[in-house]
Every structure is written in C-alpha cells, then in structure tokens.
Amino acid sequence: MTNGLCTISSAALPSSASPNVAVLIALFYFFYFALIGVHVIFVPKILSQVGYEPSAIGIILASAPLVRFAIPFLFLRGFRLSQSTFFAALALMTLGAGGFYPALEHFWPLLMVNILFGIGIALILPYIEVIALEQIGKERYGKIRLFGSFGFIAIALVLVKYLSTPYVGIAFLIAMAFITMLFGALIGWRERHSTDSECDATSAECRFTIRDHIPLWIGFFLMQVSFGPFYNFFTIYTTNHGVSLDTTVWLWSFGVIAEIIMFYFQGRLLHRNLNALLWITAAITSLRWLLVALFPNSLFVLFASQSLHAFSFALFHTAAISVLFSLYKARRLSQQFFFGLSYGLGGFVGAIGAGFVYQYTPAYLFVAGAIAALGATFAFRVNNR
C-alpha cells in the first residue's frame, strides 16, 4: 500500500504474514490514532468552547485514563480479551463517540459516554498490538505502527482548518471512530478463523502476575508520569517563554516526524538487549526533559529535545511491548496491563502532578518530569540485572 510516504510490500513482511494483514493493520493504526488525536488535541478545546469550567474538563478527560487503568484487573477475575470481547469493545468505542453529539452540553451524560469511549479504546489497542507482533514481528512492527503517527499528524493539520464550531470537531470524532471500527472489525473477522493463541491467565501454566517483575512495571509507570508535563503543559510552557504558537505547533510536528523515522529504522536496534533499550531510552527521556527545563527560550535546544521523541516514545514503546510479548504467555493481558498501568495510571498521575507543580513552582515543571524519567531508568536497570 502506498500513500506517498511509505510502502507496505510483501518483501517487508515475515513469511507468516500476508500483505493484506499488514495493510489492514496499517489502516487501523492510521484511523485509530487519528481518533486519539481528535480526542487529545481538540476535545479539551471543544469543551471549553461550549462553556465547561477547567475543573469539569479535567474530570471528564481524567475518566478515560482511569478506566484504562481499571479495566485490566477485570481480566484477572476470569474475563478474557477474546475476539468477542474485541468486537464488543469496537461497538462501545463507536457508541461512546456517537454519544458525544447529544451529550456535549450536559456534564453527567458526557462523562458517561466518555467512560464508554474509554472502555472501548482501552480494550482495542492491546488486541491489535498482539496481532501485529504475531503476524509482522517486532523488527518490522515499527514500519506498520508509523502509520498511526501519520494519522495523528494528518487529523491535526486537517481539523485545525475546519474547526469552525464545536460540533464540527465532534463530527470528526464520530467519523474517525466509525472508520476505526470498520478496519478493526475486518481484522477481528479475519482472526476469528485462526487459532486463538491467547492462553487463559487463570490457569497455572499461564499465570499472569506483576509481582515477578515489579521493577519493570514501576519503570513503565514512572516513564508515563514523566510525560505529564509534556502532554499537558508543553504548549503553555513554551508560549509563556516567548515561543510563538505557530512555532510550538512545528515543535510538536517535529517530534512526531522523529518518531516516524525511528519507527521505520528501529528494526536492527530491536535485535539487541530489549531490557537495556528500556533503561537507555528512559535515561534519554530524562535528558530530554532537563533540556526543556534549562533552555526554554532556545529554539535550537527545544527542537533538539523534540528529536529525542524518537527514543523516548517510538523506540521505548516498541521495546516495552516486545519485552512483554516474550515475557508472558498471557500476551494480550500483559499488553492490557502495560497500557493500563503506564498510559492509564501513569498518565493520570502525571497530569495531576504536573498541574500542581506548574501552579506552585512552574520553573520546576520539566525538572519534575526529568526526575520521574530518572526513576524509571533506575527501575529498568534493576530489572535488567
């Protein structure tokens, strides 16, 4: 498949994967992360436009990562991330997105539909990630996953031109959810004819527990805590230090471009010690936040720090899911907990913590992020011994 930026060909796939699978997964990633882009970048602005107070916006947006954290524990009680669960999650995601339209101006209904939306997206991605690793392999995973980055950038560049009213943004959210559901359903339908490789996490031979690798999971949690200042306050931070909004948008875009390049070329690095890659990328992330803290007025340093997104997100993410893929037999459940504890709980704590730090000691916002990433570095080093 060619979109002018990257080509998926049968030569780029392992013998066990067909080109059709790669195309479907690439398209799923494109629209899934376009959907995430609408929710993360534009929904806060939309809620502000319709009159929600910052505290109400915070409560609504915090519900999704909290759900993402809570969901995995249900699977320890006998639930399984099966094909039927995956189809149900696609339906919940789409219904939740559709519910934004009638519920937009009503707090409690909007909170409920956002929770439904959060449940859907929390279940969908781990299921697809396991299929991608099984069918494509960790070495070539990045060349497919980068289409998600394209989708994130594309929706940001398109929607910013058309966001004339709040309901235009909601229409984009619904459209991206519907298209994501279609490609997810196609992948799920194809997989239902194959053998389900996921074992039962409640069985003795397939026991899943965090306790056996506590430093690893602490590292995952702290790594996402460190991103709290970046995801929630980077735009405010840079513009308050004299960087124009247009330039700040280019800083965001430059980071995603660096991420795309790493996804495409990271295959050889993944033949190395994956556990070592975790602590190295965490250390680079700590350096990244320290650069932002020390040189907030330097465009050269800010662009240099954004180039490190290639390591702190792209390479780290692939190394993390690959470690879990090889470490646990309950692969989907391990991915579920990864997203729950890191992007869920870690994202929630990082956002709340960054808010307090920025309110009371704004000069130390990214210093706090650097400390959290340094903590992740030590946790991964302990786990690597």
Query: Are 134 and 242 contained in the same domain?
Result: no
What is the average per-residue pLDDT within 43-52? 84
Is residue 322 predicted with pLDDT exceeding 50? yes
- Residue at 234 is within a domain: yes
Query: What integer pLDDT is reported at residue 332 of this predicted model?
Result: 78
Query: Are 321 and 345 contained in the same domain?
Result: yes
Query: What integer pLDDT is reported at residue 204 of this predicted model?
Result: 54
Query: Are 185 and 85 contained in the same domain?
Result: yes
* pLDDT tier at 250, thresholds 50, 70, 90: confident
- Residue at 38 is within a domain: yes
Query: Are 349 and 371 contained in the same domain?
Result: yes
- Residue at 148 is within a domain: yes
Q: CATH code at 358?
A: 1.20.1250.20
Query: Are 181 and 274 contained in the same domain?
Result: no
pLDDT tens track for 176-200 = 999 999 999 999 988 764 545 555 5
- The closest of 281, 291, 314, 292 to 380, measured between CA atoms, is 281
What is the average per-residue pLDDT within 119-134? 88
Angstrom distance (rounded) from CA 32 to CA 121? 9
- Residue at 13 is within a domain: no
Around 367, how many Cα atoms within 13 Å sit in the side-chain half-sphere? 8
What is the average per-residue pLDDT within 275-294? 97
- Mean pLDDT is lowest, of 107-121, 130-144, 362-376, for 130-144
User: In the listed set 198, 218, 233, which residue is the last one of a domain according to the structure?
Assistant: 198
Query: What integer pLDDT is reported at residue 77 of this predicted model?
Result: 64
User: In the listed set 178, 198, 218, which residue is the last one of a domain according to the structure?
Assistant: 198
Is residue 374 predicted with pLDDT exceeding 50? yes
Angstrom distance (rounded) from CA 119 to CA 68? 7
Q: Considering its fold, how many domains does the chain have in total?
A: 2
- Residue at 7 is within a domain: no
Angstrom distance (rounded) from CA 36 to CA 118? 11
The dihedral sign for the CA sequence 262, 285, 59, 57: negative
Query: What integer pLDDT is reported at residue 69 of this predicted model?
Result: 85
Angstrom distance (rounded) from CA 50 to CA 63? 19
Query: Are 127 and 261 contained in the same domain?
Result: no
User: In the listed set 152, 167, 198, which residue is the last one of a domain according to the structure?
Assistant: 198
- Residue at 2 is within a domain: no
Q: Residue 118: which region, alpha, beta or left (left: phi > 0; alpha: psi -120 to 50)?
A: alpha
Domain that holds residue 267: 200-385
Q: In 3-state terms, the chain is what percent helix, strand and coil (to 5)?
A: 85, 0, 15
Query: Are 205 and 94 contained in the same domain?
Result: no
* pLDDT tier at 254, thresholds 50, 70, 90: very high
- Mean pLDDT is lowest, of 197-206, 259-268, 362-371, for 197-206
What is the average per-residue pLDDT within 7-18? 41
